[in-house]
Amino acid sequence: MPEGDAIFRTARTLHQALAGRKVTRFESVLPHLTRIDDHAPLAGRVIERAWSMGKHVLIAFSGNLVLRTHLRMNGTWHVYRPGQRWRRGRQHMRVLIETDAFLAVGFNVPVAEFSPADVLERLPALRSLGPDLLGEALDLDAAVARVRAQADRPIAEVLLDQRVLAGLGNIYKSEVCFLCRVWPFTPVAALNEATLRCLVQTGRRLLQANVSATAAGAIVTRPTLRSMLRRAAPEDRLWVYGRAGRPCFRCGTAIERDRTGDDARAAYWCPRCAPASQASPSSGD
């Protein structure tokens, strides 16, 4: 599943290409979308904006209508110029929005629904979201309290739970735990206040670092965190994720890997920097 920064960049690209333009053509292979288009055509509506909420991409149209999509594991949005060759086959197209200047195509999008704009935030899928770590404002105390309330759960599972904090994915889970020197399987109840604040603040900081206008498409962490990020090799761009058996950039100890949660998501950590017996506060530096 794409991380929150990738979803944010997708929404930003859609906004830059589509906002303020009139829809000239709408297509979908999803009957529940085409029924709306049949009764209240999308063609002729103006696209007002596109934005993200957690891992949801939202596109607002004039006339009180919003399209919500969730990409899950395989969905993606592409933007093309008219006549430009698609990078994926038409059989993968689920949603198509065309304007005079750009064509937005949702490929293999598993979740897509129209909703009246004025009830959008009451939709169960959005109402259940925790604080968005890429939101303009974040109530740190409230976000930490939501994490703290998951006392009996391993922190790695909690960081992935979009009902607690919205935006983090499996890569960030391991990176954030490493930077705060937390063993990913530590129960939340064993973490003190300073460590919980470190986890939330570091997650927000890393996500924000990767949605700047100059951020590359790949997941990287802020260069000031470690000089290794300037290496070209993909395996040297992250602290621990995907580096099982390789030496820790801090201490040289081999990175370990195990799985957690009902979905058996992989977690990576350094057993010396974040030992199982220690859950101490850190600055995240």
Q: Does residue 22 have an active-site annotation?
A: no
Phi-psi region of 117 (alpha: psi -120 to 50; beta: other; left: phi over 0): alpha
Catalytic residue among 3, 98, 157, 175: 3
Gap between the Cα atoms of 81 and 131, Å rounded:
35
Q: 134: closest CA among 285, 3, 267?
A: 3
Cα 50 to Cα 230: distance, rounded to the nearest angstrom: 32
Residue 184 annotated in active site? no
Q: 256 an active-site residue?
A: no
CA distance 237 to 226: 9
- Among candidate residues 55, 131, 157, 173, the one labeled active-site is 55
166: closest CA among 135, 210, 140, 120?
135
Catalytic residue numbers read 2-3, 55
